Structure 1
Amino acid sequence: MVKKLLLSLFPLLTCVLLYAQCPDAAALTLLRQQQDTLQHLSQEIFNGKGNEGRTKAVDAFIPTLVRALKTKYAFRFPFDSLKTVSIQYPADSSFRIFSWALELETGFYRHFGAIQMNTPDGQLKLFPLFDASDYLSNPDTITNNKSWYGCLYYNIVQRHYFNQEYYTLFGWDPNNPRSQKKIVEMLTFKNGTPVFGGPFFSFSEDSVPTPTRNRFIIEYKKESTATLNYNKELDMIVYDHLISETNEPVKKYTYVSDMDYEGFKWKAGKWVHINKVFHDAIPLGKGAPTPMPLDQKKKSMMHPKSAEDFQPATPAQKKKKQ
């Protein structure tokens, strides 16, 4: 009995011990109820019937999420039951980013998101993210939250340089029926507001230098897999070198990995391009980062079918398959 009581109190006790200030018991109960509603709506966004059903779920999800986040100290609530919504934190927990995707019947995607700041008084400070990726004539540009290059974020790497914090964001865009993309860009805050992109991806050390980029994007075949992530052991960004499998370099949807790797190394406030990461065979246990940002066995954002696509199979289901 005592053990059960301690287990039931553990989330609240942990919250108090780690953060000192958290939602009170009544607020936690309300947040859990709102999380249940959000979980249902997020699954409808993921596998609802047609554009109308999924769009309707998005339209209900956004205000419900905002209402939940308005709860004082809601930043401490993890919303960890939202399996189709990515929630990423930097090392300093100064903010968190929510991002999710809506697949249209055409096979194209729209992205939604928000940055919630970790405020000292627990009040909500939120920056909604408006996906403008389809309207950016030049994706290599500096944007704000109102002209966001929409994607699902799967990692944040924090760097400190000259009294400023730099947050490197890694995102995945299912894009369209023929190709998908991965994006890495810098997030900074100017006068307290988010700025996406900037001249942080340098190719100055290449044998034939090319202009510095504001964000780095790889696009490749829909059915293929490509890495773009931070490798903690190597302390650098590593990504797959891509080639056209049909020798048509202008057609990005034909690009696949050739099992070679390029990268970026953090030097003097920039990510500097490394043309070849591994000059020999990759040592055992020291390979490149996980190739997909999300566990595709549990969650296939490219081809959503049912809740089973992003939820672990129960023991009964596993037994039935056997």
Structure 2
Amino acid sequence: MRSILVFLCCFALSDALAQRLSAGDRASLDALQDSLRAMSYDIINGKTESLRQQRNDAFIPQLVNVLKTKYSFYYPFDSIRTMAKVYPKDSSFRIFTWPLESDNSTFRHFGVIQMNTKDGSLKLFPLFDNSDFSRNADTITNNKGWIGCLYYGIIQRHYFNAEYYTLFGWDANSQTSQKKIAEMLTFKNGEPVFGGPYFSFAEDTVPKPTRNRFILEYKRDAVATLNYDPEMDIVIFDHLISETGEDQKRHTYVPDLDYEGFKWKAGKWVHIEKVFHDALQLGKFPIGEPMDKKKVDITNPRTLEDIQAEEAAKKGKKKKN
């Protein structure tokens, strides 16, 4: 996990930056970003757990102080590549998340929600990872009971005069398994609410109870996807099976080249048992990066065409040599 570099879903905010931030504040944020970048690098790549923890403890208050700069919402922090950033379509808030690895290869996650305020003042909700203390992840929580993960995507839906933000996250989880998570973020009385009865299985052949949060847990070194496909307008994910026939052991689960999904209907994500009924066409579905410490941007989903193009480029180089 030391080499994971995450740079996801940053908006191009140059126009807003010029309009909102003064030249002096922008120069100050440029300098402060350099300091934050150095600390965040050590949070991911520090050789000892104590060093990573120390740098994380220093990073958090400094990030908060930096965000106190008026209209800091319009500063992208795009050089801090170890911190994931997601914005909804309406740009009403943004979420920063990052991981902290322990020496036993387990993780805690940290994050903040920064609201986009009209006067540029700071309104912030810190995210406290409660996953180690929650036996049941199918819950509805606030920012203090957050099920920690690294957010790599967000989509926004409007229904009955309310906004619904579906978040996609990744959790390295343990030495044997990893997780992909889809959950709804809503705001009640201005406060964030994570989870809710938005994942319906009522249309399944055998209907199952609605879930407050959808989680895929699978083998640590397997490749599985959970993401929104804009062309199909659905959430699509790998169908998983146990490679050893031990259905109760999630760390044995791997994709079987079949795909399920969710379709937005009447304010809920309704489960689709089988997305493709014919042969799959290459490049028509997203796939995620494998859990490989030698790779970077492992939570950034890519299409099969992207991967094949990279492989073709590598083969071309070998032929030239």
Q: Could you say which TM-score interval applies, normalised by the shorter chain?
A: 0.7 to 0.9
Structure 2 residue aligned with 1:307 = none
Tell me if structure 2 keeps the 8 A contact 1:21–1:73.
no
**Residue 118 of structure 2 aligns to a residue in which SS?**
coil
Tell me if structure 2 keeps the 8 A contact 1:140–1:214.
yes
Alignment pair present for 1:81 and 2:79: yes
The 1-side partners of 2:61 and 2:261 are apart by 40
Q: Of the candidates 238, 241, 257, which is equivalent to residue 239 of structure 2?
A: 241
Number of paired residues?
288
**Residues 299, 235 of structure 1: CA spacing in aligned structure 2 closer, same or farther, 3 A cutoff?**
closer
- Post-superposition CA distance 1:58-89 (Å, at most 9, x none): 00110111011000000000000111110100
Report percent identity of matched pairs.
62
- Post-superposition CA distance 1:92-144 (Å, at most 9, x none): 00000000000100110000000000000000000000000111121101000
| 1:23 alignment partner AA | L
Superposed, which structure 2 residues align to 1:119-138 within 5 Å?
119-138=117-136
Structure 1 residue aligned with 2:94 = 96
Tell me if structure 2 keeps the 8 A contact 1:84–1:299.
no
Structure 2 residue aligned with 1:198 = 196
Structure 1 residue aligned with 2:6 = none
Structure 1 residue aligned with 2:286 = 289
After TM superposition, give the deviation of residue 294 of structure 1 in Å. Answer: 9.9
The 2-side partners of 1:70 and 1:184 are apart by 30
What RMSD over aligned residues (CA atoms) do the two structures have, in Å? Answer: 1.9
Structure 1 residue aligned with 2:143 = 145
- Post-superposition CA distance 1:181-217 (Å, at most 9, x none): 0000000000001000000000000011010000000
After TM superposition, give the deviation of residue 257 of structure 1 in Å. Answer: 0.3
Higher relative contact order (CA 8 A, sep 6+): 2
After TM superposition, give the deviation of residue 50 of structure 1 in Å. Answer: 1.3
Tell me if structure 2 keeps the 8 A contact 1:154–1:293.
no
Superposed, which structure 2 residues align to 1:167-316 within 5 Å?
167-286=165-284, 288-292=285-289, 297-299=295-297
After TM superposition, give the deviation of residue 166 of structure 1 in Å. Answer: 0.1
Tell me if structure 2 keeps the 8 A contact 1:157–1:169.
yes
**Residue 168 of structure 1 aligns to a residue in which SS?**
strand
Q: TM-score, normalised by structure 1?
A: 0.86
Structure 2 residue aligned with 1:113 = 111
Structure 2 residue aligned with 1:306 = none
- Post-superposition CA distance 1:209-249 (Å, at most 9, x none): 01000000010000101000001111000000000101111
Structure 1 residue aligned with 2:40 = 42
The 1-side partners of 2:134 and 2:64 are apart by 27
Q: TM-score, normalised by structure 2?
A: 0.86
**Residue 66 of structure 1 aligns to a residue in which SS?**
helix
Structure 2 residue aligned with 1:72 = 70
**Residues 56, 181 of structure 1: CA spacing in aligned structure 2 closer, same or farther, 3 A cutoff?**
same
**Residues 38, 20 of structure 1: CA spacing in aligned structure 2 closer, same or farther, 3 A cutoff?**
closer
Tell me if structure 2 keeps the 8 A contact 1:145–1:194.
yes
Tell me if structure 2 keeps the 8 A contact 1:240–1:262.
yes
Uncovered stretches (5+) of structure 2, i.e. residues with no partner: 1-12, 300-316
Tell me if structure 1 keeps the 8 A contact 2:224–2:287.
no
**Residue 138 of structure 1 aligns to a residue in which SS?**
coil
The 1-side partners of 2:283 and 2:84 are apart by 28
| 1:260 alignment partner AA | D
The 1-side partners of 2:207 and 2:283 are apart by 33
Tell me if structure 2 keeps the 8 A contact 1:114–1:128.
yes
The 2-side partners of 1:55 and 1:285 are apart by 40
- Post-superposition CA distance 1:1-39 (Å, at most 9, x none): xxxxxxxxxxxxx74x44674221111111111110111
Uncovered stretches (5+) of structure 1, i.e. residues with no partner: 1-13, 302-317
